[in-house]
Amino acid sequence: MKVRLPQGMGGGPANMQSMLKQAQKMQEDMAAKQEELEAAEYEVSAGGGVVNVRINGKKQILSVKLAEEIVDPDDIETLEDLIVAAMNEAIGKVEKISAEEMQKITGSIGGLGMGMPGLF
């Protein structure tokens, strides 16, 4: 019994070569985008702007800035909660942007709409 592949899905050498080139290009694009994302810096805030966190694409905290009015020695717990919230927001922002940018690259291979799940 012979199996017939749909039109355009032939396994000839030229088609295989083309698919390999596309895969290599995608890999190069992903590496370049990853470098770009890791070099990027993001700033987020919590508590209406009283806690600001700067983070890079490697999820390394670069700085934490506190507004004077939030520093209350009698309420350290609120300050701690706001710092945690700002850091979690910063990490979430990096992850969201990274995932969106990688999806742009991996979302479609060869125009076939075949995603590469689990990469990012």
pLDDT of residue 69: 93
- Whether 51 maps to a domain, the answer reads yes
The percentage of residues in the chain with a pLDDT greater than 70, rounded to a whole number, is 79
Are the C-beta atoms of 119 and 102 separated by less than 8 Å? yes
Angle between helices 13-39 and 76-106 (to 10 degrees): 160
- Whether 56 maps to a domain, the answer reads yes
- Whether 79 maps to a domain, the answer reads yes
Taking every pair of C-alpha atoms in the chain, what is the biggest distance, in angstroms? Answer: 81
- Whether 74 maps to a domain, the answer reads yes
- Reported in sequence order, the residue ranges of the chain that DSSP labels E, i.e. its strands, are 41-46, 51-56, 61-66
| CATH number reported for the structural domain that contains residue 69 in this entry | 3.30.1310.10
**Both tokens of residue 4?**
């017939």
- Whether 13 maps to a domain, the answer reads no
pLDDT of residue 1: 60
pLDDT of residue 5: 56
- Whether 85 maps to a domain, the answer reads yes
Render pLDDT for 40-59 as a digit per residue (tens, 0 to 9): 999 999 999 999 999 999 99
Domain that holds residue 60: 30-106
Our count of domains for the chain comes to: 1
- Whether 10 maps to a domain, the answer reads no
- Whether 5 maps to a domain, the answer reads no
Q: Work out the average pLDDT over 76-104.
A: 94
pLDDT at 108 over 70: no
In this predicted model, which residue has the larger pLDDT, 14 or 94?
94
